[in-house]
Amino acid sequence: MTDPSTTALIVVDVQNDFCPGGALGVDGGDQLGAVIAEAATAAGTLVATRDMHPANHISFREQGGPWPPHCVAGTPGAELHPSVVGLSFDIIHDKGRDPAREQYSDFDDSDLADRLRERGVTHVVVAGLATDYCVRATALDAIAAGFETTVLRDAIAAVDVEPGDGERALREIRAAGGTLDRAHLLRGREQLAPILEAKVRRLREVVEGAGRSRAALGLSGGIDSALSLAIAARALGPENVFAITLPSRHTEQVHIDDARACAAAAGLPAANFMNVSIEPILEGIAAARPTVHDAPLRFGNASARARMITIYDLAQERDALVLGTENRSEYYLGYFTRFGDAASDVEPIWDLYKTEVKLASEMMGQPEAVLIKHPTAGLWGGQTDEDELGFTYHDADLAIVCLEELGLDVAAAAARSGVDRAVVERVAARVAAVDWKHHVPHAL
């Protein structure tokens, strides 16, 4: 992409104290090593920075500062984390040694800019910790110092003292003229493995936090519900998960069989899998709303809401939380029914794009038949999502990452992703058209 000889990668403060278990541990801080190592191969100059404080630093709580003591020079917490320690850094830059000054930026009162310029660097790529403090300040100062500046979105992690701090910092960096990129537009197995582990852990915490031990969800025979189920079975034990498949007249037998196979693959006892037709509910709806059949979309939405009522009642009967099955692709494309499949207590796969869901389902041992099937919302006979949307999920996923996460325009998103420009345009139009669905209800 860019010329390595004029590019420096600055690995900000990936130190033991900023990783989980450290004095100021940042969630995911220990997971950046693989992406950083990859990014390092495209940079002619590799810089590590370290927060390096005296024991009486002004930012520590005992001195009236906001932080617990961290990265005290000479302690193990101040050393580079093992995930990056093996890289051959050209420059190791320390900051924060003055007891009386906070220094979040590596360019603050330092010769780093000059040292980079001496090496012919014009482009600075920033990775590391923490997005909302030292990454933010370092990127903003790199821009101010005249470097073309890129923050690697998949090689950073935020403290998020207030939820959203990390995202706000990235918006600020873009507004100042910086750009965002990712080493991988979509995550592969290596990146997904720790994410799935974390989901298993967090689901257990959330269910326990709600004073429950069980979860219930609808199974369609597709990969999204299969993955939510697999995560739940691992988190709570298969005996504590209830799965129900809810066919209508349009549901082909193969999907019911696949749903049963998913439940079996996740280890659910046979009694925890239920198959209940929603036709009686649909008849009731049609009695109240005789024209519900007039448009496939109306009937489809009514079906999704009929399923929601059934799942919630099952959950209440079993004292379970309801798991949703919405993924990131459906979220951005607005491909969900409000109060239907979008209704849930927990969304286990909300942050995963469809392409990633497929890989994750494979990693969690879901059946081959489910993995290779064309995604369908099952709203009417023969329906497939990709026919209905007019593009493939894989293309949509790449386009959405570039448009929404990197903030690129259509032309730049097409160039970065390799997806046909006309497709990117269609995806962008759809994402924009359904944006209102993420802000409902609109309170006036």
Residue 151: CB minimum distance to ligand VGL, A: 13
| Known active-site residue 59 | yes
60 binds ligand VGL (CB under 6 A): no
Q: Name which of residues 74 to 133 contact ligand VGL (CB under 6 A).
A: 129-130, 133
- HSE, side-chain direction, 13 A CA sphere, residue 125: 28
134 binds ligand VGL (CB under 6 A): yes
| Known active-site residue 51 | yes
Among Zn ion, ligand VGL, none, residue 8 binds (CB under 5-8 Å by kind): none
Window 37-56: contact mask with ligand VGL (x via CB under 6 A)? --------------x-----
Q: Which of 30, 51, 154, 224 is flagged as catalytic?
A: 51
| CB closer to Zn ion out of 58 and 434 | 58
Burial of 418 (0-12, 13-18, 19+ CB in 10 A): exposed
* Residue 43 backbone phi and psi in degrees, to 5: -125, 125
Pairing of strands 273-275, 91-95: unpaired
Among ligand VGL, Zn ion, none, residue 326 binds (CB under 5-8 Å by kind): none
| Known active-site residue 437 | no
| Known active-site residue 362 | no
| CB closer to ligand VGL out of 133 and 147 | 133
Query: CB–CB of 49/29 below 8 Å?
Result: no
| Known active-site residue 70 | yes
Among 13, 141, 341, 385, indicate the residue that binds ligand VGL (CB under 6 A). Answer: 13
Size of the site for ligand VGL (CB under 6 A): 10
Residue 31: CB minimum distance to ligand VGL, A: 16
| Known active-site residue 415 | no
Tell me how far apart the alpha carbons of residues 334 and 158 are, in angstroms, rounded to a whole number: 27
For the residues of 207-271, what is the DSSP string, one character each?
HHHTT--EEEEE--SSHHHHHHHHHHHHHH-GGGEEEEE---TT--HHHHHHHHHHHHHTT--GG
Greatest pairwise CA separation for the chain in angstroms: 78
* Residue 154 backbone phi and psi in degrees, to 5: -95, 15
* Both tokens assigned to 48: 């590590």
| Coil, helix or strand at residue 199 | helix
Q: Which of 57, 93, 95, 354 is flagged as catalytic?
A: 95
Tell me how far apart the alpha carbons of residues 218 and 191 are, in angstroms, rounded to a whole number: 27
| CB closer to ligand VGL out of 90 and 165 | 165
| Interacting residue ranges for ligand VGL, rule: CB under 6 A | 13, 18, 24, 51, 59, 67, 129-130, 133-134
Active site residues: 13, 51, 53, 59, 70, 95, 102, 130, 134
